[in-house]
A and B are shown apart, each in its own frame.
Chain A
Amino acid sequence: MRLSGWRWLAVSSLLWASLSAETRPQYGGNLRITTRIAPSSLDPADRTQADSVARQNLDSLMFDTLVTIDNRGRLQPALATSWKAEPGNQRWQFWLRRGVKFHDGSPLTPEAVAASLRLANPGWNIVPANDSVIIVRDAPAPDLGAELTREQNGIAKRGAGGSVVGTGPFHITDWQAGKKLTLAAAEGYWAGRTFLDTIEIEMGKNSRDQLIALELGKVDVVEVASDQSHRASAEGRRVVSSSPIELMALVFTRERQSPDEGKLRDVLALSIDRSSIRGVVLQGVGEPSGAILPSWISGYAFVFPTDQNLTRARQERSEIRQVPVWTLGYDANDALARVIAERIALNARDAGLTLQTTTSANADIRLTRLTLTSLNPRVALAQVASTLGLPAPKFGTGSTDELYQAESSLLQTQRLIPLFQLPVSYALNTSVQDWDQDLDGSWHPDNAWLGSNRP
C-alpha cells in the first residue's frame, strides 16, 4: 500500500474512533434540568401539590413503584417481579425483587413496602407476607396494577423530620424545598447504575427563563410551553414532545345548583372557539378536545363535540332570565393560560355570558391542566374524578363501552369543560444523548448520558 493510503487509513481510523467515542455512552456528568413546578415536599404520597408530568418525572428519579406500565398499557415488573390477582380482582399478591436496598442501605422488605403503600392508600388492606405483599380491596380492582404504577405509590421509607428515601436510580444529596434538588446516582441501583453521576433540578422557573437558560447553555433539559414548541423547533432546538397527555379544561369549583345553571354551562361550552385558540394561541400544538381522555388512549375522543356553536349558545342563553357573572381563574405564572382565559371570556361574551378573568384562587371556574396519571384509561379517569371530587367510576368488564359510559357520566356532571389535550415538551441541550421519554412524557434517564460539550 502506498504511503498516502496508509496515511488516509490512519486518519480515517482516528476519525472513526472519535465518532464512535461520541456515540458510545459515557459515565459521568451532571445533568441540569429546570422545571416550572416547585414542590414543597418530595414525599411521593404527599399530593398537596397538583399532579403533573414534571412531578411524576421527579418522583421517578428517586422512587420505584412495584410495577410500571409500558406504552401499550401493559404492566412491567419493577420492584415486584411477579404478581397475581385472585379471581374477582379483590386480592392481589406481589412478590418483591430480592436484593433491593433503600438509599440509606436498608433492605427493601415487605413490611416497608406495605407501610409505604398504606400511607398512600389508607383504604387498602395491605399485608406483608414473606417476600411478598398482599393487597386486599373492598371491591374488585382489576386495574390495581395500573394504580400501583402511579407515582404516589412509589415505595419510600419515611424518616424523622419528614425525610424520605427511595430505591430509585438517584438518591437525594441536597434538597432546598421549592428551589433546587440535587441527586446523585445510586451506585447499587437494582436496574444498574445510570450513566449520569448527578442531576441538578432547578425549580420554579417560567418557560421564558428556562429557554433563555438553555440558550445560554446553563441547563440541559427545559420544559417548553405548548405555544413555544413549534417556534423552538423552528429555531433549531432539540424538542421532544409526548403524546397529548395534559388535559386543559375549565373546571367548575362546585356542582351545578339548578337546571338553569346547567344550561349556562352548556352555553359556555358551546361558545368556546377551540379551533382559533389552538391555531393561534397554541400555535397548532395539541388537539381540541371535548373528552377527558385523549384519543390515543381511549380511541373515541372524537365522539365528543368540540366545535363552536354560537347560534345555539345564544339561543340557549336567551332562555335564561337571570345570568350571573362568573369569575374565571387562571395561574398567574402561566402567560399562556392568561391569554386562553381572556379569549374564552371574549367567546363567552359573544354568547351573552360575562366572565371576569382573575388570578384569585377563589374563582367560580378555573382554567386547569389535568395531567393523566396513568396510561390505563380507567385509572386515569378515576384520578380525574377524584380530582373533581366526584365518585370514582366503577368498572366491571373494563370494556371500551364501559369506559365511554363512565367518561360520558363524568362529563354530564358538567363539572368540567374539556378544551385541549396538550403534549408536554422538553428542549434538550445538544450534549444530552439517548434521552428516553415515553408517550406520556415520563422520563427514563437511566440510559441518558452527556456528550462532549457537557460541563
Chain B
Amino acid sequence: MSFRRKLLLVFALTVFLSVAAVAWMVSLVTRRAFERSNEERTAALVAQFQHEFRRHSDDVVHSVEAIAASEATTRMALALNRSSSQSAGYLNEATPVAESHQLDFLEFVDARGTIVSSAQSPAKFGYPETSLANLPQLVAKPAFLKQEELPQGTALGLFAVRSTTVGDKPLYVVGGKRLDRNSLVALELPTGMRAMLYQVSGAFFVPQALIDASGNVKQPEALAPLILQVQKQGREFTQLMHWSSDPADDETIHAIPLNGADDKTLGVLLIGSSRRAYVEVKRHIQSAAMLVGGAGILLAILLSSWAAARVTRPVEQLATAAREVAAGNLNTQVDVTSQDEVGELAEAFNRMTRELLEQKERLVQTERVAAWRELARRLAHELKNPLFPLQLTVENLIRAYEQSPQLFEEIFREGSATLLAEINNLKQIIARFSEFSKMPQPQLQQVRVNDLVNGVMRLFQAQLQSRNGGGIECRADLQEDLAPVAADPDLLHRAVSNLVLNAMDAMPQGGILTLRTRQNLDRQYIEVSDTGVGLTREECERLFTPYYTSKQHGTGLGLAIVQSVVSDHGGTISVQSEPGKGTTFLIELPINLDKLRAPKESHSVVTTRSS
C-alpha cells in the first residue's frame, strides 16, 4: 500500500471514529431524554384519565342520587311497596329518566333484586339484577366500573347504586355512564400520543372491543398479548410495538388495568406514545454524523493529498531518480524544494549521483587508459613477432653483404622472401585491428537462424573432419519452426563462425561440437558447445575483453567481435565452462521483427565474408 493511501486511511479512520463516537454519545443522550419525557407524558396522561374518571364518577353519583331522591322514584317505590304487580306499569319509566339525567344506563330494581325497568335493556323487566352481587352494600359506595350486558353485546360503564326506601322495602336505582370512545375524546392528548380502551370480554382477545378516540383501532391483534397479560396479572405493563419495518412507526404502549368493584379487571387503558420524534431526531443525528463524516473524509483526502504532496512526491521523485540511476543515467538530479529532511535527502541524492558520475568518468578514463595500454601491449606483442625476424633478416643481409658477397645474392633472395612474408603478416595484424575498430552497424533482415547455423556447419565441415590429432564430431540440435529474426546475416554468421573456430581450437585432440537453437517467447537462443579443455572462472570473466586470449596465437578479438555483433543486435552472450568439461557459449537474440524497415527474408544462410 502506498504512503499516500496509508495516510488517507489513517486520516479517514480518525475522522470516522471521532464522528461515530460523538454520534453514539448524542444518540444515547437523546434516547435517555426521550424516554424520560415519554414517561412523564404517560404519567400526565394517566393522571388526566384518572381525573376524568373521578369526574365522571362524581357525575354519575350525583345523577343517581338525584333520581333516587326524586318524587317519581318515591311514587314508584310506594306503588311497588303496595303491590309488586304494579311494576308492569313502570316498564318504560327508566328510559326518559335516564335521558333527562344524561345517563347511559339506568335501572330500577326492587327489594328482591328484580329489575322493574331498564333503560338500556327494557326487555329485562322481571329478571334479577345478577351483575351486582350485593346491592345494599353498594348503596353507600362511590362509583365503580361494571360491565353491562346489552342486547347487542356488553358495555363498560361507571355505575353507582343508591336507593329510596318506602316502608321496609327499598327501591334501588342503578345508574351509570358508558366508558367508551367519548371518554377518550375528552382527554387532551399531546402530539404523538393516543389513548385506547379495551373492554374485557372473557379470556380471549376480541379485536372489536379495542377502541380509540376515532373508533376501532388498526391492527388490534398486535396488542392482544399485552392486553391479555394485563388482564391475567392485573397490573401495569409496558411494551414497545413495531407496527411496521420503519422504526419511526414504533410505539411504546403503557397498559393499565381498570378494575371493577370486586377488583376483577374489566377493562384495560392503553396509552400509546409514538417514537417517531425520537427516531426522526436519531435519523437527523445519523444524517448529520454521516454528513460530518463525509466532510471529514473529504477533508482527510485533501489533507492526505496535501501531506502526500509534501512528503511522498519528493520520495517518489527520489525513487524515480534512483531507478534512472540504476538504468545507467547518472546525470539524474532531483529538485530540492524544501529545507527539511526531505530536502536534505534530495541534496544527498544529487551529491551521490554527481560523485557516481565523476567516478564513472574516472573509471571510463581508467578503462580507456587500460584499454589503450592493453592495445599497446597487444600491438607490441603482435608487432614484435614479425619485427624480430625482419630485424634478423636485415642483419643477415648486411652481414652477408659485408662478409660474404658471393653468397649475398642467395642470402638476399632468401632474406627478401622472409621480409615479404613478415611484412604480409604485419599487414594482416593491422587489418584485423582495423576491422575491429570499424565494426559495421548490422543491416537487419529476416534471418532464419537454423539456416544460418546449418550454413556455418557446412562451412566448417571439411575442417572438422580433417583435423590433425582427431576429427571433431559436429552435432546439430535445432528446434524446428523457429520464427525468423531481425538480424544482419553476415555479422551473425561471423559471430557464429568465430565461436565454432574457438570451439575447434579448444579441442586439439578432437571432440564433439554441438550447435543448438531454440526459441522462448520473443527470444531465440544459439548455443555452441564443445568438449574441450574448458575455462576457469577468471578466464570466463575476461573472455570478452578485447585482445584477451587464452590461446597461444590470435589477436584476442574474436570473442570481442562476437560480443560486439550480439550487442549490436540487442542480444546478450554468456559462457558456461569448467576446466576439463568443455565450454558452452549462449547467444540470446531478440526476434525484433518490428525493427525491420521492409520485410526482407533471407532464406539461405550466409555468404561468407573474408575477414
Contacts and interface: CB of A to CB of B under 8 A. Distances in A.
A356 B89 CA distance: 27
Contacts of B372: none
A342 B88 contact: no
A185 interface: no
Interface in B126-158: 126-127, 151-152
Interface residues of A, number: 14
A342 B122 contact: yes
A280 B125 CA distance: 8
A357 interface: yes
B138 to A, nearest CB: 23
Nearest to B95: A335
A279 B88 CA distance: 7
Interface in A324-374: 339-343, 345-346, 357
Contacts of B127: 346
Nearest to B151: A342
A276 interface: yes
Contacts of A346: 123-124, 127
Interface in A244-285: 276, 279-281, 283-284
Contact of A345 (B88, B89, B151): B151
Nearest to A340: B123
A376 to B, nearest CB: 36
A280 B114 CA distance: 14
B230 interface: no
Contacts of B124: 346
Q: Which of B87, B91, B121, B152 has most chain A Cβ within 10 Å?
A: B91
B122 A276 contact: no
Given A339-B123, A342-B122, A345-B123, A283 B88 contact: yes
- Among B89, B91, B122, B123, chain A packs the most CB atoms within 10 A around the CB of B123
Interface in A163-193: none
Contacts of B121: 342
Given A339-B122, A342-B121, A280 B151 contact: no
A95 B122 CA distance: 56
A112 to B, nearest CB: 51
B78 to A, nearest CB: 18
Nearest to B152: A357
Contacts of A343: 123
A357 B91 contact: no
A258 B408 CA distance: 170
B91 A281 contact: yes
A21 to B, nearest CB: 41
A357 B88 contact: no
Contacts of A345: 123, 151
Interface string A201-213: 0000000000000
Contacts of B152: 357
Interface residues of B, number: 13
A104 to B, nearest CB: 49
Contacts of A339: 91, 122-123
Nearest to B122: A339
Contacts of A284: 88
B201 to A, nearest CB: 15
Interface in B405-436: none
Contacts of A341: 123
A44 to B, nearest CB: 37
Contacts of B91: 280-281, 283, 339
A229 to B, nearest CB: 14
Contacts of B126: 276, 280
A284 B88 CA distance: 9
B210 to A, nearest CB: 21
Interface string A117-153: 0000000000000000000000000000000000000
A52 B127 CA distance: 33
Interface in A59-81: none
Contacts of B125: 276, 280-281
Nearest to A279: B88
A287 B122 CA distance: 21
Nearest to B124: A346
Nearest to B121: A342
A343 B123 CA distance: 5
A112 B122 CA distance: 53
B93 to A, nearest CB: 12
B118 to A, nearest CB: 10
Contacts of A283: 88-89, 91
Contacts of A342: 121-123, 151
B304 to A, nearest CB: 78
B154 to A, nearest CB: 13
Contacts of B122: 339, 342
Interface string B91-117: 100000000000000000000000000
Most buried by B among A280, A339, A342: A280
A405 B124 CA distance: 37
B64 to A, nearest CB: 24
A441 to B, nearest CB: 25
A248 B127 CA distance: 23
Interface in B56-111: 87-89, 91
A341 B152 CA distance: 12
Nearest to A357: B151
A355 to B, nearest CB: 10
Contacts of B89: 283
Contacts of B88: 279-280, 283-284
A236 B412 CA distance: 197
Nearest to A280: B88
Contacts of B151: 342, 345, 357
A378 B124 CA distance: 38
Nearest to A343: B123
Contacts of A281: 91, 123, 125
Interface string B209-233: 0000000000000000000000000
Interface string B276-298: 00000000000000000000000
Nearest to A278: B88
A345 B348 CA distance: 112
A276 B124 CA distance: 11
B99 to A, nearest CB: 14
B83 to A, nearest CB: 13
Contacts of A279: 88
A339 B94 CA distance: 14
Interface string B441-480: 0000000000000000000000000000000000000000
B330 to A, nearest CB: 109
A416 to B, nearest CB: 21
Interface in A290-344: 339-343
Interface in B186-243: none
A280 B124 CA distance: 11
A114 to B, nearest CB: 51
Task: Give the one of A339, A340, A341 with max B CB within 10 A.
Answer: A339
A341 B87 CA distance: 20
B107 to A, nearest CB: 14
A283 B122 CA distance: 14
B91 to A, nearest CB: 5
Contacts of B123: 281, 339-343, 345-346
A342 B126 CA distance: 13
Interface in A407-448: none
B214 to A, nearest CB: 25
A341 B121 CA distance: 11
A280 B152 CA distance: 22
23 contacts: A279-B88, A280-B87, A280-B91, A280-B126, A281-B91, A281-B123, A281-B125, A283-B88, A283-B89, A283-B91, A284-B88, A339-B91, A339-B122, A339-B123, A340-B123, A342-B121, A342-B123, A342-B151, A343-B123, A345-B123, A346-B124, A346-B127, A357-B152
Given A276-B125, A284-B88, 9 more contacts: A280-B87, A283-B88, A283-B89, A339-B122, A339-B123, A342-B121, A342-B123, A345-B123, A346-B124
Closest 6 CB pairs of A and B: A342-B123, A343-B123, A280-B88, A342-B151, A339-B122, A280-B91
